[in-house]
């Protein structure tokens, strides 16, 4: 069976995502300033760059929904800390984040991954955000690859020598 690569997708190893892309360098430097390890920062910068391109095409998105389960404190937590966290939850909310993908703007959104228990926007730069974005990028790539393989298989069948050499069917209308 033939395997086709979908030309619009760019993998993390694609040389077109280069260091001189500017945005990747800026994102890398931002993460390094936040004390990310170099290897994790460059990986995250590449994923965020790829995510932004696909999100701009309206193929990927992150949504947040209120978390149903309430924040649970360890019984040994002091009351001042507990009060500060509860105030922050009341101010910023307690959320579950979901990454979603679709193959085109005509398709419905499919949830790929989710992670909850975040206060406010703590999800951003948590590391979970990168893993969830990568999962959505890979799911979209897999969906395109599956579609390409299906089309290749149909094309291979249509070009089969058996079909081309089969005898003509009798005309039933004569």
The helix/strand/coil state of 97 is strand
Backbone angles phi, psi at 109, to 5 degrees: -75, 140
Residue 15's pLDDT is 40
For residue 56, the Cα-to-chain-centroid distance in whole angstroms is 13
Residue with tokens 């998105």: 61
Residue 11's pLDDT is 42
63-121 pLDDT, tens per residue?
999 988 777 788 888 889 889 988 999 999 999 999 999 999 999 999 999 999 899 99
99-108 pLDDT, tens per residue?
999 999 999 9
Residue 127's pLDDT is 92
Residue spans of the domains in the chain: they are 12-56, 59-150
Q: Is the pTM of this model over 0.85?
A: no
Count CA atoms closer than 13 A to 86's CA, side-chain side.
Answer: 9
Residue 172's pLDDT is 65
121-166 pLDDT, tens per residue?
999 999 999 999 999 999 999 999 999 888 888 776 656 665 555 5
- Where does the chain show beta strands of DSSP type E? 60-66, 94-101, 110-119
Residue 82's pLDDT is 87
Residue 160's pLDDT is 60
Instruction: Provide the Cα torsion 133, 138, 144, 150; round to 10°.
Output: -150
Greatest alpha-carbon span in the chain:
93
Strands of the sheet with 60-66, listed across from one edge: 60-66, 94-101, 110-119
Q: Place 52 in a pLDDT band, splitting at 50, 70 and 90.
A: very high
For residue 93, the Cα-to-chain-centroid distance in whole angstroms is 24
4-42 pLDDT, tens per residue?
333 344 444 444 444 456 888 999 999 999 999 999 999
Q: How many CB atoms lie within 10 A of CB 2?
A: 10
């Amino acid at each position: 069976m033939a395997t086709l690569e979908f030309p619009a997708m760019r993998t993390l190893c694609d040389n077109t995502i280069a260091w001189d892309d500017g945005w990747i360098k800026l994102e890398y430097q931002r993460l390094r300033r936040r004390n990310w390890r170099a290897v994790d920062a460059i990986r995250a910068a590449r994923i965020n760059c790829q995510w932004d391109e696909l999100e701009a095409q309206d193929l990927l998105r992150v949504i947040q929904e209120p978390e149903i389960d309430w924040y649970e404190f360890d019984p040994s937590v002091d009351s001042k800390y507990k009060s500060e966290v509860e105030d922050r939850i009341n101010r910023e909310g307690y959320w579950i984040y979901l990454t979603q993908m679709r193959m085109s703007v005509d398709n419905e959104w499919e949830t790929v991954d989710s992670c909850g228990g975040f206060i406010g926007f703590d999800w951003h730069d948590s590391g979970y955000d990168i893993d969830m974005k990568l999962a959505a990028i890979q799911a979209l790539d897999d969906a395109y690859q599956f579609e390409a393989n299906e089309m290749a298989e149909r094309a291979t069948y249509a070009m089969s020598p058996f079909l081309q050499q089969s005898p003509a069917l009798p005309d039933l209308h004569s």
